[in-house]
Structure 1
Amino acid sequence: MGNRILVSCKDLERIVFGIILLFSFAEGTFAQWSVGGKVGANFSNLKNGSMAESMTQRVGFNLGAVGHYQFNDWLGIQGEILYAKYAVLYNGSLLDMGNVEGNGNLSYIHDPKIRSHYIDVPILAQISPFKRIPGVSFEVGVQPGFFLGENIKDGKRSVDTNLYDRNPVNCSLLFGAAFKFPANWYFDLRYVLGITDNYESYHGINTRALQLSLGYLFQL
């Protein structure tokens, strides 16, 4: 499963780079590099599969570094390295496999908040179609996410775990828009569409998230 996910992410990255290179030579180009950082909120949930029916959206966050290359007036490419936390609420009870009660029975974690931690690497093409509104751009790309760990909290205790064996790499498609202010600040709004299984033991469960972020870029 893990190898198939890696190949899928690599194939999507090649497609994105191919499209960017194709359009970058459509008109005169100019090299303009920018680097900076960003921070934002993830409004996330898990979809598809019977287990996901008991999930409710919760808020996480993302933060990290940004690199941007502007090919011409209307096309750029942006790459990021983000630490991201995705959170969902499970409306039910999960077995706490690491905590056995005095009578030998397994204890339960009721209505737990499941928080998963990733290093996400978004790679996006940014298209700015409006000459009269140069700060507005639309984004499309791919995001490999590398799993770091998982934490479950029920309000009383917090347990580090890996429910149902999360896959080491989670690949997603990204769709969104960004607005850049004259003072180098910008914000973006993205929809994260997971296309690979989050779990090895539960097939078909994918990430869905809405991301709202604020960033700053320095022109080099």
Structure 2
Amino acid sequence: MKKLLFLLMLMLPFAANAQWRVGANVGASFNHPTIDRQYMTDLQYKDRWGVTAGLMGQYDFNEWLGVRAELNLTQKNYRQTRTVIQGQDYKYLNNYLLMPVMASFGFGSEKIRGFCNVGVYGGYWLNASRKGEDYNSFSQTYFTFSESMDFDKDQDQRWDCGFVGGLGLEYRFCNRWGAQIEARYYHSTTSFRKEMPHFNDKRYHSTFGIQAGVMYFF
């Protein structure tokens, strides 16, 4: 009983300054795929822009420490070309649902503050599509295409997880409302291609983001 009372006394300073906030954010993502091309040396994988948007909730223990959780729809797009086949250009669009959970460290004045978010995330590959152009060697003509992609349960890894971190600036423009802008980085530790027997074909996403949002303080 004495230990419980002691712990409650230690937590009182945190509880006195604790505060909930909720908000929404939107921005742009920039994805860099890391792919082992094996013997396909003519394959070129390139970075590509996308969008990100989501909802957030944060519990602040005090003015410098909080815990933040989000639910985001983030695109991890990339582009594939081949140097041997001129004109082959595939643009892939990949929609992921991500849930980052982060410790949030704040610093600065009451109205304008900097912050740093560090944590982990889990996610799920919702859907994918591609568009572009290719070459038909039989008719010797170029053609364009746009199509949805079906997942291969034996090859495509739809679960995603990794580390996440960000730096940003917060502006409290009135008593209950604030705005944030943040630069963020997602480092995936899960290959989006499953491991095949006797074939090393690991593929990873590294995703940068810039996002802005508004928050309501309770």
Class of the TM-score when normalised by the shorter of the 2 chains: 0.7 to 0.9
- Pick one of 94, 97, 119 that aligns with 1:141: 119
What amino acid maps onto 2:146 in structure 1? S
Larger radius of gyration: 2
Task: Kindly indicate whether residue 76 of structure 2 is the aligned counterpart of residue 76 of structure 1.
Answer: no
User: How many residue pairs are counted as aligned between the two chains?
Assistant: 182
Query: How far did residue 131 of structure 1 move?
Result: 6.0
In 2, the alpha carbon distance for the partners of 1:25 and 1:179 equals 28
Question: Could you tell me which residue of structure 1 aligns to residue 192 of structure 2?
Answer: 198
Q: What's the CA shift string for 1:84-137, capped at 9, x where partnerless? A: 2121111229xxxxxxxxxxxxxxx92101111111111111112456996101
Secondary structure, aligned partner of 1:199? coil
Unaligned runs of 5+ in 1: 1-23, 94-108
Give the structure with the larger strand fraction: 2
In 1, the alpha carbon distance for the partners of 2:82 and 2:11 equals 54
Give the structure with the larger helix fraction: 1
What amino acid maps onto 1:119 in structure 2? L
In 1, the alpha carbon distance for the partners of 2:53 and 2:158 equals 20
Q: TM-score, normalised by structure 1?
A: 0.74
Q: TM-score, normalised by structure 2?
A: 0.74
Aligned runs of 1:209-220 on 2, under 5 Å? 209-220=207-218
Question: Could you tell me which residue of structure 1 aligns to residue 157 of structure 2?
Answer: 167
Contact 1:191 1:210 in 2 (8 A): yes
Task: Kindly indicate whether residue 14 of structure 2 is the aligned counterpart of residue 28 of structure 1.
Answer: yes
In 1, the alpha carbon distance for the partners of 2:96 and 2:210 equals 17
Question: Could you tell me which residue of structure 1 aligns to residue 24 of structure 2?
Answer: 37
Unaligned runs of 5+ in 2: 1-9, 134-143
Contact 2:112 2:171 in 1 (8 A): no
Q: What's the CA shift string for 1:145-179, capped at 9, x where partnerless? A: 11111111106321111476321211121121121
Q: CA RMSD in A?
A: 2.7
Contact 1:128 1:134 in 2 (8 A): no
Query: How far did residue 144 of structure 1 move?
Result: 0.8
- Compared CA separation, residues 92 and 72, structure 1 to 2 (3 A): same
Query: How far did residue 80 of structure 1 move?
Result: 0.8
Percent identity (aligned): 21
